[in-house]
């Protein structure tokens, strides 16, 4: 059965059909006897479930809320892991690439070459710190 017809059938149980949906539903019921059988089965099931009495253990609502909160915390933790993979790992890869470029260009890896301080003249350090170029 088509998904749209199932949605219309569900709306018919809730009395939420608009005119054109109601007419389409009636035509489908006339053409398809399987649809009528499924409607009857669903009505019987609804009738049986409406008579059923459910009993819950004590503090059922609190247990459900606690479970939902724990799931929300889990998704927050998963978001942090996702952010780590999206931010930290590419940053680490970029740093490794920069170190490799420095190694190939200079033949060695020093703090000055990695940080870019190899061209900094100590005579201009006070000017740099005072005026924030």
Residue 132 phi, psi (nearest 5): 50, 65
**For residue range 73-92, what is the model confidence (pLDDT) as tens digits?**
777 778 888 888 889 889 99
Say whether pLDDT at 133 is over 60: no
pLDDT band at 45 (very low <50, low <70, confident <90, very high): confident
Mean pLDDT computed over 29-49: 83
- Banded model confidence at residue 69, pLDDT cuts 50, 70, 90: confident
The whole model's pTM is what?
0.36
User: Does residue 126 register a pLDDT over 70?
Assistant: yes
CB 40 within 8 A of CB 49: no
The residue extents of the domains of the chain are 3-51, 67-122
Which structure tokens are listed for 22? 């109601």
């Amino acid at each position: 059965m088509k998904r749209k017809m199932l949605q219309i059938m569900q709306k018919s149980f809730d009395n939420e059909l608009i005119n054109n949906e109601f007419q389409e539903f009636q035509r489908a019921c006339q053409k398809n006897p399987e649809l009528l059988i499924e409607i009857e089965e669903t009505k019987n099931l609804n009738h049986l479930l409406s008579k059923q009495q459910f009993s819950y253990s004590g503090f059922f609502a609190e247990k459900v809320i606690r479970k939902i909160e724990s799931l929300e915390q889990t998704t927050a933790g998963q978001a942090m892991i996702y952010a780590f993979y999206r931010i930290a790992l590419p940053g680490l890869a970029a740093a490794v690439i920069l170190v490799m470029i420095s190694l190939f260009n200079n033949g060695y890896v020093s703090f000055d070459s990695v940080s870019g301080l190899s061209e900094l003249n100590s005579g201009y350090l006070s000017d740099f710190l005072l005026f924030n170029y």
